[in-house]
Every structure is written in C-alpha cells, then in structure tokens.
Amino acid sequence: VLPTSLAGFDEPCLLDIKMGTRTWTTKASAEKAAAQAKKCALQTGPLGLRVVGGRLRRPGAAADAPMEPVGYQNKRPVEDEAQLAQLLRDFLGNEQLRASAIAQVMRIQAWWAAQSRFAIYASSLFVAYDFRAPQECRVRMIDFANVEQITCKSEDLSGFGKGLETLLRNISGGGA
C-alpha cells in the first residue's frame, strides 16, 4: 500500500496518524490493555488520534532544506489540539491540499459511519503529497492488525470516529 500511495511523488511529505481513542481490542489481556491505556493517555485518548511520525517542509523553508521529522516516533509529539491544528496548517499548506484531504477523510468517515461489522483498533491514516507538486493529497487507511467483528456499532469501542472528527475539524481550520 505505501509504495502505491507514494507512486509518482518526487519528494513525498507524509504523516502517519494513529486513529482511535484506544489501540487494544476487547480481547486484549488486562496487562496489555493497561500498558496500551497508559501509552494512549496523553494524545490518542483525548484527541482520538496520535501523530506517530512523518516528515514535512514548513512554510517559508527553503526548497532545498531537509524535511523536518515530526511525530511521536521522532521525539516530536503533538501533545494537544493546538499543536495538531498548527501541524496540519503547515503540512497542508495550500487550499488544494486541504480540500483534497478533507474530501478523502470525509469519504473514509462516511464509510466508517455506515459500516457496523468491524471495530478497527490501532489503524492509521497515511496522509501524503508531493512537495514538488502540492495539488493532490492522498489519504489511505493502513494497519489492520487489530480488527474485531461486531454485530452493531455500539460494540465498537475503538474511538476511530472521534479521531476522524478531530482530524476533519483541524484540517478545516475549526480546531484550536
């Protein structure tokens, strides 16, 4: 999926955004649930998402400046909604990118709202565009290692929908 998501890009800017308020399934051991809950307490729970990693060139940076690593894995976590809003403003630096990202996240949100067969825990949205041609943003769901079959939406404890709402609000400029 990742090579396809980046196909044709000369200089990809990307974000890996872990979705949901919790990353463990209902079948996880008490130990795993406790460890994951502690890990999620700062961002994933309150925001419904966590920026795991990524790279971008901030507005005003020289075209030949190195990409800036961002996210939890790069020891540059996004710790609150204000930081998320700023990161998304910088990452999606023009109206075409924002509109493209909004349309794709809304498509995922519509699918998510309509489906009631699966709860997907610890999945990510992979968001990417080409710095050299910043007109199209690609948004893909990745990482389906923790999926549970459910019989109704109320059984879904993932918080994936909350993450989508937070992401859309902040891409649209309505965040902190």
What is the per-residue pLDDT across 128-147, written as a single tens digit (0 to 9) for each?
999 999 999 999 999 888 89
pLDDT for 2: 59
Give the pLDDT confidence score for residue 107 in this predicted structure: 97
Instruction: Using a pLDDT cut of 70, give the percent of the chain over it.
Output: 95
In which band, very low, low, confident or very high, does the pLDDT at 175 lie, cut at 50, 70 and 90?
low
Per DSSP, what are the bridge partners of residue 49? 19
Express each pLDDT in 104-124 by its tens digit: 999 999 999 999 999 999 899
pLDDT at residue number 84: 95
Q: What is the average pLDDT value for the chain, to the nearest integer?
A: 90
Q: What is the C-alpha separation between 57 and 67, in angstroms, rounded? A: 5
Cα 99 versus chain centre, distance: 16
User: Alpha carbon of 138 to those of 40, 99, 110: distances in Å?
Assistant: 26, 11, 17
